[in-house]
Structure 1
């Protein structure tokens, strides 16, 4: 009879992998993973799991399952490192991975194949490696240790990819809480600066529009003033012309001895009479 795998009957490979992804998504958040208490941690993991997966699972079940996954992956990690430490010549990465799985079976009596997906998710996570390093030094494995990003050690080597035989690149360490807060504060300062800059530009544009409007109003007033001044000048000229015409019409022609002068004023009288007659006709018809 074959030995059982590391995965329990009530959990599928997809559920195990979902738990691993949920756990890492919470622990790799630079603010959440540093500010929450241990009692709140699994609530965050459960909330993320329910949000991203249709299979709702209790906090206690997820917590218990994660402990099994972590214990199995810790054990396999040790087996893998022990095989790598032999430095055997002519051995491929896939050979090392297969020998580590055989060593795991020899030590535990269980197959590691059911955890291949979980190992592929966890092996390159700096957060999980930090947890692994810390918990190997602790005697109590009942509670996961929530690492502090600022104090977490760097991974020693790049682990082998589970089952693929290729070396995977490690993930970049997420930024710490202080850096995240500084970046957020810097972003807010930039937003305030940009807002003030926009307000200043808006004020300048408004002042320019107001100045242009005042300038146009002043020009209109000047035009009106010039028109009035011109009208006054024209009235003065008309008044002088009328006075001169009245003097000519009131002159005594018999008293003028010079024939040419007399002929000139007679001609002027005729022109004035024609003008007055024309103006009278225009005024008459304009009234009717």
Structure 2
């Protein structure tokens, strides 16, 4: 039941995220982020009858969601061609290799916070060490 609800939320959040991406690609000057979100809401509500944009607001800065979006972007960029042909003169053609991944690799990847099991294991190890030290004294 919960998994089905999450799938529905994820589907609508992905669509809303696509609306945001489309508006951001326009690169209109003078528009604040709030204006872009409001415009995306209008576009989204015209396409879908669901109002789950509040879920996008909660998810957009979460490390797991950022990772998913970066993964989707990298899949899209792999579909595009990495080479560009430039016509220098009418008789010669040069091929220039452009690596899209260069800019992506320069930024540091977002690290996910440690999980519950890892935190519990670390806590148990430190308490075990403290108990051993106290027994020695």
TM-score above 0.5: yes
* 1:101 CA drift (Å): 1.7
* 1:67 CA drift (Å): 1.1
* 1:134 CA drift (Å): 5.1
Q: Deviations over 1:26-63 (max 9, x none)?
A: xxxxxxxxxxxxxxxxxxxxxxxxxxxxxxxxx3xx22
More displaced stretch, 174-183 vs 185-194: 174-183
Matches within 5 A, 1:77-156: 77-106=17-46, 109-111=47-49, 114-133=51-70, 154=109
Higher Cα radius of gyration: 1
* 1:194 CA drift (Å): 3.5
Residues 1:188 and 2:131 aligned together:
no
How far apart are the structure 2 equivalents of 1:177 and 1:135?
A: 27
Q: Structure 2 vs 1, CA of residues 119 and 85 (structure 1 numbering), >3 Å: closer, same or farther?
A: same
Q: Structure 2 vs 1, CA of residues 87 and 129 (structure 1 numbering), >3 Å: closer, same or farther?
A: same
Q: Answer 1 or 2: higher relative contact order, Cα 8 Å, separation at least 6.
A: 1
* 1:182 CA drift (Å): 6.3
Residues 1:69 and 2:6 aligned together:
no
The alignment's TM-score, normalised by the length of structure 1, stands at 0.30
How far apart are the structure 2 equivalents of 1:104 and 1:76?
A: 6
How far apart are the structure 1 equivalents of 2:22 and 2:109?
A: 20
* 1:181 CA drift (Å): 6.6
* Structure in which a larger fraction of residues adopt strand: 2
How far apart are the structure 1 equivalents of 2:44 and 2:48?
A: 7
Q: Gaps spanning 5+ residues in structure 1: where?
A: 1-58, 138-152, 156-171, 201-288
Q: CA RMSD in A?
A: 3.3
How far apart are the structure 1 equivalents of 2:70 and 2:10?
A: 12
* 1:81 CA drift (Å): 1.7
* 1:133 CA drift (Å): 5.0
Matches within 5 A, 1:1-288: 59=1, 62-106=2-46, 109-111=47-49, 114-133=51-70, 154=109, 173-175=112-114, 180=119, 183-184=122-123, 186-197=125-136, 200=137
Q: Gaps spanning 5+ residues in structure 2: where?
A: 76-107
The alignment's TM-score, normalised by the length of structure 2, stands at 0.56
How far apart are the structure 1 equivalents of 2:52 and 2:11?
A: 11
Q: Structure 2 vs 1, CA of residues 174 and 196 (structure 1 numbering), >3 Å: closer, same or farther?
A: same
